[in-house]
Structures are given as structure tokens and as C-alpha cells.
Chains A and B, each alone.
Chain A
């Protein structure tokens, strides 16, 4: 690994793989860093190593990732897995740890492709062993060939919940129930987007998935869900009914993984339709910080196909900036394709908009899992005049644990917004501090001396 690169891409999901392929093939020195053991990101998790040999289980959309991974591999990009990026600053100095060794690497351009994470799903008991995210079960299947064993309940809403159900059923997993938390009235608002949705690829796929799952699993509508157990999950209680359960899988959509971009100083804005913060970006996915782009779902949720297209567009922008003499294909066709991908999104966003009760918890429900801060504590503190998440951090320590707000940030923002009766846009988000992933003191101490001398910063 070198001390500097033309382009550093963070995250080897569809956006990162596509972006790195584009820049490396254009002759730019390209480093692609990813913290997971293999490439693919979450959507194509385990794409080069999955033990699942029956291709039908994961479905054709998954195997699209094979070509992306292969393309990146032969592109000339240097791909490093097990590389945890813990800092990115506005001068595009990237802090990364690989096998316990920390280093700082300079890039002329950085493409942040850190993708999405599942939206927090704060219900009573969601910290109990036996409660996991739907994405976790999908990862277990894709990357490790592992499936739920025992009484299994899925709960939540959104396309990925139905995809997971279908994949598990194909792997002959018995599902005890699906608790659909989609508010029934969402249809009304979603209808406006219906014509676009009917024309988008989502329509056919979605219908097929629903048909595949219905009839094989009892499906209930649920407005209130509770995970019950003392030291581990034993029961799921919903709307007055009880089900014995060993595993409860929660999912209510995905949101951009904002930590790295925010810590780099990239300006973000509230997306009211998708109920999350996303970076403010130009047409090439360039951010408010010169030289830093954000592509893929991290730029706003658009799905895997859109992510790869966004990655390519961001990659071509880097090529144009660093090698103006290089011939870059016209990205117009790419942009049109991307637009078609994104067209059906509005319908899905409105249809699967998570219920307020599952985003804005009450009472003893844990909001911050790390520091074990309850929804009521956050609400009371907001009512006492604490106006924003950063002050809330100082009062309650929420967001100050190792996950650094990933699983409480949106909840805390929404709770403050609810108590103050203002928009989450006005409340804002945590100011995120590096390292965006914890590093050991020993790793930090291991930063090479030569580099320490190189960056003598003038105040």
C-alpha cells in the first residue's frame, strides 16, 4: 500500500466496486478499502465466497454482484478487505487500520461508498439476545450459509423484509409469523407515485415476492410489538397476541450510513420522504467538501442498481477532475438509467414509511443501546429545554457509546422533534467525531513516525 493515491474509495458494495473500476481503468491509482472480510457490501455480502450453492435461494438479483466484483478485481484497483476506515478529514487524509496497524493515506479524491444501515427499530425488548435485524439474518445466510433455527418471527415493513422472508422460505426455514407494521393509511399518500412505480423494475419484482411469501407464512398486521424475555427472547407480544419465539428479526427500511461523511464535514440535509439525513450533493455526487463524493445508498436510499450507477458517475467525475485529457464516456445514458431506477422509489418510500410509533418510542423503551438511555429520559430532557442532539449527548450520554449514534441518532432527533413540535430538519443530527470506528490506543500509537512528521499543520 502506498502513502497516497489518486482515488480512495471507501466501501466495496455496488457503488464502491463500480466507482473503483471506473477510476482504475482510467489509469488513476485507486485504493478500495472495506472493513468486511470480502467485497460486495451488504447487498452482495459474501458474493465471492458464499457457501450457498443453490443459486435460487438468494435469487438472481444477488448474483448480479458477481460481475461487479469481477470487474473491480481486474480493473487494477488495489482492493483491501479487513480495512477499517476510522477517519476522513476535509484535506482527504484517510485514517485506516488493517490487522491492528493504523496508517494515514492521502487521496486526491475520495469516494465515500459506505452505503446504508437498517433504520433503528426501537421497541420494548429490542436489546434482548434473540432479537436481531432482518439484515443480520440475511448476512448470516448470504455470507455464512446459516439460517434461523427455532421459532422465528419477522417484523417490520419494506421490500427487504419480504425478500428476506422469500429467501428463508426457499432455504426451507419455517417462519412462525410475519408481523407487518406498515401503517394501512400509507397507501393513500403512496398512490401519487403509483404510475411511476408501475413502470419501474420494482413493480414486477415486488409482486412476485409477495406472492411467494403469502400463503406460506401467517401474516399479521401489528401496530405494537414487544420482545419479551429475561435474559433472552422467549416471546413476541403484538396487539394483544403472544407468540413463542427464539428469534425476532426486525426491519423497517434502510437509511444512509452517515458517520464517515459527516465526520469529514460533509453537509447533510433532512429527507422528509425517507425520514433520514443524507448528504447535500451535486449531479456528480460531489459533496460540500471539495474532492469528496458520496455515492451509493449513502447518498440517499436508491437501491443496489442505482448504487452502482451512482458509483460510476462519481468515478467518471473523479477521472474528469484528475485526468482532463482522458476520454470519458458521455454519462447522459447512465443518468437516464439512474433516473428510471429512482422513479419507482417515491411509491415505495411512501408505502413503506415506518409508523411513528416505531420511530418515536415512549417510556422505558431503550433509545440508545450503548449507554442504555430510555425514550422517556430523552423526552423529559427535551421538555426541560434541551434543544438538540449534541446537548442531549452531554446530558444523557446517548450517542457517546461505541456505536457512535448509529443506532440512536435518528431516534433521538425524532424524539426531540416530537417534544419540541418542530421538524427533524430543525433539530439536526449529532456532530460526529472521529474516529468513526473505535481504534485501540495501541493502533493509534502505531501510526508511522515518518507520517507524523510529514503533516506539520500550520495553525
Chain B
């Protein structure tokens, strides 16, 4: 869906559902997922429909992911960090999993 104009910025190693992904310093989680070609980051709690980041500006809450065990974080507002563990969210995935 997206590609980088150039390979700027140092690499950051994160995992998405356990799989290693190379992000860049300065990326947010949502952008790292888009750059890695991950085509959805969650399914909805109501019908289970797949969703991907929509607005990238903190408004839509479609980029909700679990970051280091904390569910429903806005991926577009969380900068990546080395070793960060991202999990895509399936439906009502939050506390009490």
C-alpha cells in the first residue's frame, strides 16, 4: 500500500504477532505496519471486520493495536521502540484475555 521514498533513519526492530518487522526511527506503530505491508491491524468487536489505519492523525481509532501488552492503543500516536511487541487485535481483545 505504501513505500518509503528513501531509506532514511536508523532501523528499529519490532515484532508484530511475534514476527520480526524492521521499522525506522521516527515511525509510529501504524506507519510501521503500513510500511511492512500488513494489511489489517485489527478486527472489529462488533462484526469482526478487518480494519487498517484510516486517518493517521489520532481521530479514527481504526489503528488500535496491543502494544507491549496494553490493548487498544492508537498505533498512529505511539512511536516505535526497539524490541516493541505489537499484537493485532481480534475483536474484543483487551483486558481479561
- Chain A interface residues (CB < 8 Å from chain B): 35-37, 42, 45, 49, 51-52, 82, 84, 117-118, 127-133, 135-136, 139-141, 143-150, 171, 231-232, 246-247, 257, 369-372, 401-403, 406-407, 437-438, 440
Contact = CB atoms under 8 A, between A and B. Distances in A.
Contacts of A257: 59
A146 B62 CA distance: 19
A136 B54 contact: yes
Contacts of A139: 56-57
What does DSSP make chain A's interface, helix, strand, loop or mixed?
A: loop
A372 B48 CA distance: 10
B59 A131 contact: no
B75 interface: no
A145 B2 CA distance: 10
B55 A133 contact: yes
B28 interface: yes
Contacts of A372: 44, 46-47, 49
B77 interface: yes
A149 B34 CA distance: 11
B36 to A, nearest CB: 11
Contacts of B2: 140, 146-149, 247
A132 B54 contact: yes
B9 A51 contact: yes
Contacts of A131: 54
B4 interface: yes
Contacts of A407: 59-60
B79 A133 contact: no
Most buried by B among A131, A146, A232: A146
A57 B51 CA distance: 30
Contacts of B50: 128-129, 231-232
What does DSSP make chain B's interface, helix, strand, loop or mixed?
A: loop
A128 B27 CA distance: 23
A372 B43 CA distance: 12
B54 A35 contact: no
Contact of A37 (B60, B62, B79): B79
A247 B54 CA distance: 11
Contact of A146 (B5, B39, B79): B5
Contacts of A150: 1
A132 B53 contact: yes
B22 to A, nearest CB: 14
Contact of A130 (B6, B35, B52): B52
B58 interface: yes
Most buried by A among B2, B44, B46, B58: B2
Interface string B57-69: 1111110100000
B6 A145 contact: yes
Most buried by A among B31, B35, B60: B60
28 contacts: A37-B77, A49-B26, A51-B6, A82-B79, A130-B1, A130-B39, A130-B52, A132-B54, A135-B57, A139-B56, A140-B31, A141-B5, A143-B26, A144-B24, A145-B5, A145-B8, A147-B5, A148-B3, A149-B2, A232-B50, A246-B1, A247-B1, A370-B61, A372-B46, A401-B61, A402-B61, A403-B60, A403-B61
Contact of A127 (B9, B51, B77): B51
Contact of A129 (B4, B52, B55): B52
A438 B40 contact: no
A406 B60 contact: yes
B27 A144 contact: yes
Contacts of A403: 59-61
Contacts of B40: 129, 231-232
B92 to A, nearest CB: 12
A225 B89 CA distance: 29
